[in-house]
Structure 1
Amino acid sequence: MKIGKERIKGFVMKPLASGTMYYGWEPSPAERKAGWKSMKIEAEDLGRAIEAARKRNEEVVNWREGGAKPAAVKRYNAPQTWGAVLDRYEREKLPALAANSRRVDQTQLNLLREWAGKHPLAWITRARVRKLRNEVCPQADAVPGLIREGVRDIPGHNPAFKLLSKGREVWSWWNDHPENGRSVANPFERFGLPKPPARDQLWDYDAEVAFVASAGTLGWHSIGFALELANVWGQREADILNVRAANWREVTLAELDMQRDLHAALASPTGPDAGKAMGFGIVQRKTRARNAVPIAGEMRERVELLIAAARKRVLACKAAGQVVPIGATNLIVRDFTGDKWRGRDMTGEPWSQRDFIEKFGIIRAHAAAQAREQGNEDLAERLEGLEFRDARRTCVTRLANLGMSVPTIAAVTGHSIKTVERIIETYLVRTAAQAGRGMVALLGAARDRKERKESQA
């Protein structure tokens, strides 16, 4: 009831036949369900009645905050908001993820929180999830048909799928949480949007050469080398950019299963580790999987030069009496870029992900422009569709096209056997080289059968 300018929750007053006033307090439906009862207020005047109603409201507030309550009243259970669940997920799940995965997940959680963080879980329905889907991807209902027609990069498709998939994951996680006493149907299930088709872009050799050339022209040799190393080694961008001199180590004969011919092929007759097989040993930042792979030939020589440069940077810091900065021994560092941070020249420092991606895009655009100037529109279009992450798929595909076994590919890239099989099935582009080998095999088999038949005649 509103008294003057003040609204007093639950307070009621009405005239009686006796000519006096009845004062009372009434609980809300939820409060009544929890055990709160209607209360008659015995008061001589309105002021004292209002004071009694305020006191009862204070008791209700205290109850809602987990404080004392009448014996007949049930413990208050605050309605669970979507934002509270997201906060819990963020605290309990995100710390275990690698930095890049954490950033990706955090973006999705922030969007879900902005959408419905203040609402109780009951507010989130399948209809509202579908509405969110359509807001992010206006063509959502047409997506399955467009994919069947070969259309890619449908506006909003990938963001909507990632967002709703994360919502489904969080809801499922909360349903299984030991502190959640009430599991309810997941409104994010079957949100009516197929998984975006896997990228099938590969770094063809001519595209790689063009990119590396442009990187050199623009003075960012380190980015060109990063791409070449990724195409050979098949690691993620974060792992490539964080390779350090300390990751370079000897690969022993025992590690090569005592295969002396293999050791001889990997060993270098020159350089600081002449006669030894050398390679990288890392723990992948995303999966924490250990990966060790030998490096040989020209790539080894280039790695050794970068290691020498990294050690020189460390010695220069020590000679100048300076603290050796974090990342001083990284092999892939900023070339002279003119970039500054708080007035400090950043040349020789590790690349940040943002700056690396920015410069990568500039190099790619330059390479595509050069291809067009030379009349090679096909190469230009392929370059424009490529990203650094495609190098990981390229490495797997190149090894598969060379006839390498799944275990061999897994040993190079650090994937599990099952993951390599899935990558090959999903990403391996059916190239002309593959078709050519198959055709040669078929024709060869047909020729052999014909020769056998003729010899038997």
Structure 2
Amino acid sequence: MAKIRIPLLVGKTNKAGITSWYWQPSKTLADAGWKPISLGKDEGAALAAARAENRKVEEWKAGGDRPAGIDKKQQNGTFGALIERYRRERLHGVSASGRPLLKPNTVKTYKPALRRLEEWAGKHPVAFVTAARVTALRKAVARPIADGGLGHAGAHHLLKTLRLVMAFAESEDIIPKGSNPATSFGLGAPPSRKVIWTPEDDAAFDAAAYDLGLPSMALARELALFTAQRESDLIAFTEGQLTELEIFDRGTRELLAGEDGKVMGWTFAQEKTSDDDADTWMEIPIEPKLLVKVNAALRRNRARDRAAEPRRLLSYVIVDEDNDGIPFNERRFIRRWNKVIDHAVKTTGRKSMENLVWHDLRRTRVVRLRRRKMPKEMIASITGHSLAAIEAMLKVYGPVDPTITAAAIASSLDTPAATPIADEQEKSA
């Protein structure tokens, strides 16, 4: 009697001769979200179950019902299929050496744009994407956010992503060379952000955080302004990253040492967002007063972690106090951040704070250090920016900084400006 073969049905026989049956999806199906299924030891029931699962796959391939958790099947030749291939080969692709082509942070920035582009034209053939339709897309998304658009920055990022996808189509001979309809999409890059925090903003944010019972958010702001690091690195700051640093200059050591004579600092690998840059190993000393706050936070968080069920054995400096003190992910951190900003605006009336974002703290630190006449090379050693990035930032702020301008004016004077009070003092002397 011929043995019945069902696609994707796999039998595994143990040493006792008992066969267990499984429905095992191919790699392509697994990438789309299909999961292996254990079908038990009854061969007849397993055959029927495997046939039923295969029918679901065929319906999905034909564009029919899509089970929960399964990605939408993109038909060959569609713009959606092109995006799916772009994700696989560019976003998640690897080089010949096995190294990812893009860094995780870079991949994250492209995912929302690719989803929007799928919604826009995913079901259509690639040829649907014409210069005229790109123009129509630009007009729709470049409207202000309040009017249902994405705003200038969001629209520019979306259209730039479309240009990359269509350039990929050119490189793979999916469309003719030189026919990228998004090459010139008619929207210039948004201007660089020029927002910096004021000391009043600092105080209002911290007061709002404490008022909401979120002291971790106040500490996060203070650490961000002191270290000038990204939120992704700061929310990953664990007790194990707070270590003693070897500082050999005696004067520097005396300024930074705590009561125990040790200089403690935050040590970690700073993950670069640029795919051309290697991660940078950072060792940032934490000044004594701020260190007291960090240690106090760790003590609180450690006690909460050990009392949790199940126990959490690794404690973080910044935690989600609205969620039993668990570590943050970036999405929840941004929600808490916005909650504090909204409360600060409500309680102080400082409407300008609505425009403050986390990354502005890095820029603020750079500007404040420069106002203290710190050399650019020293600023870069604190922030982990490249010297070129620091110089680009200071092109915006350096020429109009009032402290630097005042110093320049003062240095241009031959003698101190005379005042009536100074004249009287000179006469009486």
- TM-score of the pair, normalised by structure 2: 0.68
Residue identity in the other structure for 1:209: A
Query: Contact between 1:293 and 1:411, CA under 8 Å: does it hold in 2?
Result: no
The match for 2:114 is 109
Question: Do residues 368 (structure 1) and 354 (structure 2) align?
Answer: no
Amino acid at match of 1:115: W
- Tell me: CA distance 1:93–1:251, structure 2 relative to 1, closer, same or farther (3 Å): farther
TM-fit CA distance, 1:207: 0.9
1:351 aligned partner: 328
Alignment pair present for 1:92 and 2:82: no
What is the rounded CA distance, in whole Å, between the counterparts of 2:253 and 2:174 in structure 1? 57
Go from structure 1 to structure 2 and tell me whether the alpha carbon gap of 1:160 and 1:315 turns closer, same or farther (over 3 Å shift). closer
Distance change (3 Å), C-alpha of 1:138 and 1:389 = closer
1:441 paired with 2:427, answer no
Which residues in structure 2 correspond to 1:203-214 (within 5 Å)?
203-214=197-208
Q: Which runs of 5+ in 1 are unaligned?
A: 1-77, 140-153, 338-345, 373-379, 448-457
How far 1:231 moved relative to its partner? 0.9
CA offsets per residue over residues 200-228 of structure 1, 9 Å max, x none? 11111111011101211221111111011
Find the aligned partners of 1:167 and 1:251 in 2 and give their Cα distance. 47
Q: 1:444 to 1:243 in 2, by over 3 A?
A: farther
- Cα displacement (A) at 1:428: 5.5
1:278 maps to a residue whose letter is M
Match of 1:246 in 2: 240
Structure 2 partner of 1:171: 166
C-alpha displacement of 1:240: 1.4
1:222 maps onto 2:219 in alignment: no
RMSD of aligned residue pairs (Cα, Å): 2.9
The structure with the largest alpha-carbon Rg is 1
- 1:444 deviates by 4.8
Q: Which of 346, 357, 364 is the aligned partner of 1:387? A: 357
- Residue 275 (str. 1) matches residue 261 (str. 2): yes
Contact 2:267–2:281 (CA<8 Å) still a contact in 1? yes
Q: 2:395 aligns with which of 410, 425, 445?
A: 425
Aligned match for 2:384, one of 414, 425, 443? 414
Do the aligned partners of residues 438 and 428 (structure 1) sit closer, same or farther apart at CA in structure 2, a change above 3 Å counting?
Answer: closer
1:364 shift after superposition: 1.9
> Are 1:266 and 2:260 matched, yes or no?
no
The answer on whether the counterparts of 1:242 and 1:330 sit within 8 Å (CA) in structure 2 is yes
Counterpart contact for 2:228–2:382, Cα < 8 Å: yes
Relative distance call for 1:182 and 1:191 in structure 2 (3 A) is: closer
Of all paired residues, the percent bearing the same amino acid is: 32
Q: Deviations over 1:435-454 (max 9, x none)?
A: 2222222225898xxxxxxx
Residue 15 of structure 2 is matched in structure 1 by none
* Aligned partner (choices 286, 301, 304) of residue 295 of structure 1: 286
Q: Which runs of 5+ in 2 are unaligned?
A: 1-74, 93-99, 274-278, 418-429
Aligned residue in 2 for 1:137: 142
Report the AA paired with residue 291 of structure 2: R
Structure 1 partner of 2:312: 324
Give the secondary structure class of the aligned counterpart of 1:290: strand
Query: Paired residues, what number?
Result: 327
Structure 1 Cα separation of the partners of residues 115 and 77 of structure 2: 18
Report the CA distance between 1:129 and its aligned residue.
Answer: 1.0
CA gap of 1:330–1:125, structure 2 versus 1, over 3 A, is same
Give the superposition deviation at 1:292.
Answer: 2.1
Is residue 399–residue 405 contact of structure 2 (8 Å, CA) maintained in 1? Answer: no
Alignment partners' CA distance in 1, 2:414 and 2:206: 39
| Structure 2 letter corresponding to 1:354 | R
Residue 359 of structure 1 aligns with an amino acid whose one-letter code is R
Measured in 2, the distance between the counterparts of 1:388 and 1:181 equals: 41
Do the aligned residues in 1 keep the contact of 2:305 with 2:311 (CA within 8 Å)? no
* Greater Cα shift, 283-292 or 189-198: 283-292
Q: 2:190 aligns with which of 182, 189, 196?
A: 196
Residue 368 (structure 2) aligns with: 398
CA contact (8 A) 1:200 1:428 kept: no
Compared CA separation, residues 252 and 407, structure 1 to 2 (3 A): same
Residues 292 and 171 (structure 1 numbering): CA distance in 2 closer, same or farther, change over 3 Å?
Answer: farther
Decide whether aligned partners of structure 1 residues 369 and 83 sit closer, same or farther in structure 2, where only a CA change above 3 A counts.
Answer: closer
Tell whether the 8 Å contact from 2:398 to 2:404 is kept in structure 1 after alignment.
no
CA contact (8 A) 2:265 2:284 kept: yes
Tell me how far apart the structure 2 counterparts of residues 371 and 138 of structure 1 sit (CA, whole Å): 30
Cα distance in 2 for residues equivalent to 1:85 and 1:217: 50
Residue type of the partner of 1:222?
Answer: S
Q: 2:266 is paired with a residue of what secondary structure?
A: strand
